[in-house]
């Protein structure tokens, strides 16, 4: 699949390796195989647990199912899809994710364009401020925003969550897009300007289409980040919480309710995993373009 994009050429051509070289490499293969298995086991554990009745999952480890496969059931999944608290949380998660992906990309590409291609006083300082804001932790904003949201009636709303995620996504988004836009050949921009194109026209007709790879990378980052959010949703909403926050209450009886928490956790991971699997080429590219988040 697509990680192959960043894969480097093998040190020596595999086909021409001598037997001795292959044998010498055997420990490397075994070591990496072991690591790979160790990496798969925890996720497999969650998946298998999600298919077991609560009593079974609580009494014995999930691997015992391999000696008694008849216990596997999809009843847990049927149950969580009929649980209105969980389906509502999934809908909220989807709404927040869509809003908090489109909005920051739109706003950040405008700002990034100005920072890359429009000359104005204080531009470098504006960019440096954006870079500095990339490091600010969410905790720094929670208390004042919590009070502000109570005043503005944004507490427990999808819009409130979207705006919060959008603001905190902006520094990294502007940083990534500005650096990408700055790489557009100067001749291209000058030519368009000589033809009399306005800044808006340049932005929509030249910069945005050329910036698509970076925008795609950013979109994937943002989908993963917002979908997987726990802290913001848990703090700034109550009845309209996204999925991770909605599941938090379940942790108090951890064990007896594995039939809810395991399938819901696994299902909540399916969407980001799918996005990741489909678009990982962009994801990895964006990552390599200097991610500090």
Partner 1 sequence: MGVEFPDPGRTPPAPRPSRVRAAWIPLSFLGPAFALLTVWMIYPAIRTILRSLWSNQGNKFVWFQNYSTMFGDSVIHTAIKNNIIWIAVGPLSVTLFGLVLAVLTERIAWASFFKIVLFMPLAVSLFAVGVIWRIMYQQNPDQGAVNAGLNSIHNVFNTPGVLPRAAPSSPAVTDKFVFTKQLSAGGTATLGLTAISPQDVPAGATQAAQPKSKPGSITGVVWRDFKPGGGKPGVVEQGELGIPGVTVALLQNGKSTNTAKTDNHGAFTFDGVSGSGYQVKIAPATFAQPWQGVQWLGPSLITPAMIIAFLWTAVGFAMVVIGAGLSAIPRDVLEAARTDGASEFQVFKRVTVPLLMPVLTVVFVTQMIGVLKIFDIIYATAPGSVINNATTLTFEMWRRSFLGENAFGIGAAIASFLMLLFVPFLIYQVRSQRKNL
Which residues 53-82 are close enough to bind partner 1 by CB under 8 A?
59-64
CB of residue 82 to partner 1, shortest distance in Å:
21
Which residues 7-36 are close enough to bind partner 1 by CB under 8 A?
7-11, 14, 25, 28-29, 31-32, 35-36
Which residues 214-243 are close enough to bind partner 1 by CB under 8 A?
214, 224, 227-231, 235
CB of residue 222 to partner 1, shortest distance in Å:
13
Interface with partner 1 (CB under 8 A), residue total 128
In the shown chain, the binding pattern of residues 106 to 125 toward partner 1, with x for contact by CB under 8 A and - for none, equals: -xx-xx-xxxxxxxx--xx-
Where does 129-267 show beta strands of DSSP type E? none
CB of residue 99 to partner 1, shortest distance in Å:
13
Q: Which is nearer to partner 1, 72 or 143 (CB)?
A: 143
Closest residue by Cα to residue 232 from 106, 152, 137, 150: 137
CB of residue 123 to partner 1, shortest distance in Å:
7
Contact 261, 247 (CB under 8 A): yes
CB of residue 94 to partner 1, shortest distance in Å:
14
CB of residue 100 to partner 1, shortest distance in Å:
12
191 is a site residue for partner 1 (CB under 8 A):
no
Say how far apart CA 253 and CA 255 lie, in whole Å: 6
Alpha carbon distances (Å) from 131 to 172, 177, 212, 284: 7, 12, 22, 21
The residue whose two tokens read 């990895």 is: 284
The residue whose two tokens read 């037997």 is: 19
Alpha carbon distances (Å) from 167 to 50, 160, 171: 35, 11, 8
Q: Which is nearer to partner 1, 41 or 75 (CB)?
A: 41
Q: Which is nearer to partner 1, 69 or 137 (CB)?
A: 137
Which residues 146-175 are close enough to bind partner 1 by CB under 8 A?
146, 148, 163-164, 166-168, 170-171, 174-175
Q: Which is nearer to partner 1, 1 or 84 (CB)?
A: 1
Coil, helix or strand at residue 264: helix
CB of residue 61 to partner 1, shortest distance in Å:
5
In eight-state DSSP terms, residue 134 is T
17 phi-psi bin (left φ>0, alpha ψ -120 to 50, beta other): beta
Coil, helix or strand at residue 217: helix
Largest CA distance in the chain: 74
Coil, helix or strand at residue 42: helix
Q: Which is nearer to partner 1, 99 or 171 (CB)?
A: 171
């Amino acid at each position: 699949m697509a990680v192959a994009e960043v894969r480097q050429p093998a040190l020596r051509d595999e086909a021409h390796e001598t037997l001795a070289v292959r044998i010498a490499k055997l420990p490397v293969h075994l070591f990496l195989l072991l690591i790979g298995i160790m990496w798969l086991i925890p996720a497999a554990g969650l998946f298998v647990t999600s298919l077991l009745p609560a009593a079974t999952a609580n009494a014995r480890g999930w691997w015992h199912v391999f000696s008694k496969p008849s216990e596997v059931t999809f009843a847990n999944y049927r149950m969580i899809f009929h649980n209105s608290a969980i389906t509502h949380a999934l809908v909220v998660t989807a709404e927040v994710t869509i809003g908090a992906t489109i909005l920051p990309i739109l706003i950040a590409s405008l700002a990034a364009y100005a920072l890359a291609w429009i000359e104005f006083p204080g531009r470098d300082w504006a960019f440096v401020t954006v870079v500095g804001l990339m490091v600010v932790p969410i905790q720094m904003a929670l208390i004042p925003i919590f009070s502000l949201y109570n005043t503005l009636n944004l507490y427990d709303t999808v819009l409130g969550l979207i705006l919060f995620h959008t603001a905190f996504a902006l520094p990294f988004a502007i940083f990534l897009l500005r650096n990408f836009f700055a790489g557009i050949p100067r001749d291209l921009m000058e030519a368009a300007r000589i033809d009399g194109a306005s800044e808006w026209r340049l932005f929509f007709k030249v910069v945005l289409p050329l910036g698509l790879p970076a925008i795609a990378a950013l979109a994937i980052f943002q989908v993963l980040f917002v979908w997987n959010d726990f802290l913001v949703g848990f703090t700034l909403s109550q009845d309209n919480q996204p999925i991770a926050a909605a599941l938090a209450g379940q942790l108090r009886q951890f064990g007896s309710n594995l039939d809810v928490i395991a399938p819901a956790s696994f299902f909540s991971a399916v969407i980001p995993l799918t996005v990741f699997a489909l678009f990982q080429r962009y994801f990895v590219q964006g990552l390599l373009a200097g991610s500090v988040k």
